[in-house]
Amino acid sequence: MASAGHAVAIAAFKLFLLTSPLAIVVVLSLVVGLLMVVLFGYTSDQKAIGIAKDQLKAHLLAVRLYRDQIPVVMGSYGKILRGTGRYLKLAFKPLLYVIIPITLLMVQIDRYLGATPLPPNVPFLLTAHLTAQSAGSDALNDVTLDLPPEISMTAPPVHIPAGNEIVWRLVGSTEGKYEVRIVAAGQSAAKAVCVGSDLARISTVRLRGQFWERMFSSAEPALPENSPIESISINYPDRNVEIAGYGMNWIWLFFILSMVAGFIFKELLGIQI
């Protein structure tokens, strides 16, 4: 009986780690903090960084000790500036090795923690932005929307000629992942829709071209280059991670915790940063 209870407790804890945004951010911050420090240590000249930091401390001490001697103080300030430049030069390349993979990781994690799925039976907005070449009231009037049975339209579409946009107000009745299709100028473009409450991979927008913006803001393939549709977006609710009764974006919490973890691991491993 005790072993069964222990197994249930372990299973519940694992489920909590996999489904709780707060637990995911805490664990991720600890792992990234450790990897960040270790990677910096292996890719940097630790001896040179240590010497540069010691020299900066010595020059700062000279400013405090000889503050009544203006020539000495001014000379120390010049040496501090040169020492800071030397330190930044030593740290720049290792920081690139650290920042680039962490940025790519954060982009992928934001697909899950940046927004929540659409709640069932709560209206949401689907917006299609047409290209300038396809603009015009006639083009907007010819655009149609195909919906799965689980998603319905709650109001007529709103045409915004000034922005080349059409906005539909929709609602999902059942939890799940669906696909809606927009037909414009004889071409069809699909957009994924996620309805529910689970931790799911969400793409708020689908774009045509715009490689860098698409890499950071979209989790769907690019729209065809000859498509008359520039973008399709959904107003997913932002996700806030609750901690001590206060909600914040997961990126801020991740940044704070990973920095704290990094400084702790730095001291434990004796790595110069």
pLDDT for position 1: 47
pLDDT for position 16: 45
> How far is it, in rounded angstroms, from Cα 251 to Cα 239?
11
Condensed to tens digits (0 to 9), the pLDDT of residues 78-101 reads 888 888 888 888 888 888 888 888
Neighbouring CB atoms inside 10 A of 170's CB total 20
pTM of the model: 0.78
Average pLDDT over residues 127-141: 78
> How far is it, in rounded angstroms, from Cα 250 to Cα 263?
20
DSSP 241: E
Helical ranges in the chain per DSSP H: 2-19, 21-43, 46-65, 70-113, 137-141, 211-217, 250-269
Encoding tokens for residue 245? 């009764």
> How far is it, in rounded angstroms, from Cα 181 to Cα 203?
15
**pLDDT category, 135, cuts 50, 70, 90?**
low
With beta carbons less than 8 A apart as the criterion, state whether 43 and 92 touch: no
